[in-house]
Amino acid sequence: MYRQAGVPVTYVGHPLASEIPMHPDKQAMREQLGLPQAAPVFALLPGSRQSELEYMGPLYIETARLLLADYPSAIFLVPLATRATMELFDTQLRQCKALDLPIRRLFGHAQMAMIASDVVLVTSGTATLEVALCKRPMVISYRLSALTYQLVKRKIRLPYVGLPNVLSGRMVVPELLQKEATAPKLAAEVKRLYADAEARLEMEQAFFELHQSLQQDTANLAAKAVLEVAGCH
């Protein structure tokens, strides 16, 4: 689109693709976090903003409750970006009467939670790309107010909202949005991925290819582009 508009552009890769290892070590990360190797571990990422958490927090808590019924030894990792979102999530746990759930809150450390997990339930946004680069199977979800959703829906021209799907040009990751984003449906998708080794492997391979396409010598390429624009040689 930039080129069509006559704007000179240069692709320098994505910095996350250089920061996240090509082959993350789940076992080592579980050891670092003090998690049992054999337990089902699910990461829940309800969003980095309070507005997202207001919609997604209770939904993910209820999904965790349903998953626990099928996996009694499950552990749920919930990384939260700020003190405000952590306090809000704590309030939601109390309101949902879910203080007894095996939920481990983390202050930040989202990538650690992703790498240590078997399956990730994530709110649509940049975090979906992080999960993909961590090579973890995921389910993407999102909810907005009904009015906002109707306004946004009219402007969306892509068939996908999740970055891994947008960048891959196909539906690699299941997306459950708005009315489809219910706890039973989210739990069913997470359980399907947890139980289906072939589906997990197929998704992980797609993420590996995506990682390779995004990984460039970003720092040098960006510096070179700046020097060229500045007229330096």
| Backbone region of residue 202 per phi and psi (left: phi > 0; alpha: psi in -120 to 50; beta: other values) | alpha
Give the least confident one: 123-132, 156-165, 174-183, 196-205.
156-165
Domain positions in the chain are 23-214
What global pTM score does this model have? 0.87
Quick one: pLDDT at residue 155? 62
The 10s digit of each residue's pLDDT in 13-53 is: 888 888 899 999 999 999 999 999 999 999 999 988 888 89
Closest CA to 159 of 147, 170, 150, 144: 170
Instruction: Specify the pLDDT at position 226.
Output: 87
Q: Which two tokens mark 31?
A: 């050891």
Q: Which percentage of the chain shows pLDDT scores above 90?
A: 64
Res 98 pLDDT > 70: yes
Q: Is 122 helix (H, G, I), strand (E, B) or coil?
A: strand
pLDDT of residue 181: 92
Cβ neighbours around 76 below 10 Å, total? 24
What was the pLDDT predicted at 225?
A: 84
The confidence score (pLDDT) of residue 117 equals 97
Q: Is a pLDDT exceeding 70 seen at residue 149?
A: no
CATH code for residues 23-214: 3.40.50.2000
Give CA–CA dist 159/153, Å, rounded.
11
Residue-wise pLDDT tens digits, 70-80: 999 999 999 99
Q: Which residues of 122-131 are buried (b: 16+ CB within 10 A; e: fewer)?
A: bbbbebbbbb
How many residues in the chain?
A: 233
Q: What is the pLDDT of residue 112?
A: 96
Residue 143: pLDDT band by 50, 70, 90 thresholds?
confident
Answer yes or no: is pLDDT of 60 > 80: yes
Enter the DSSP assignment of 40: -
- The pLDDT assigned to 147 comes to 66
Q: Where does the pLDDT of residue 218 fall: very low under 50, low under 70, confident under 90, or very high at 90 and above? A: confident
pLDDT at 166 over 80: yes
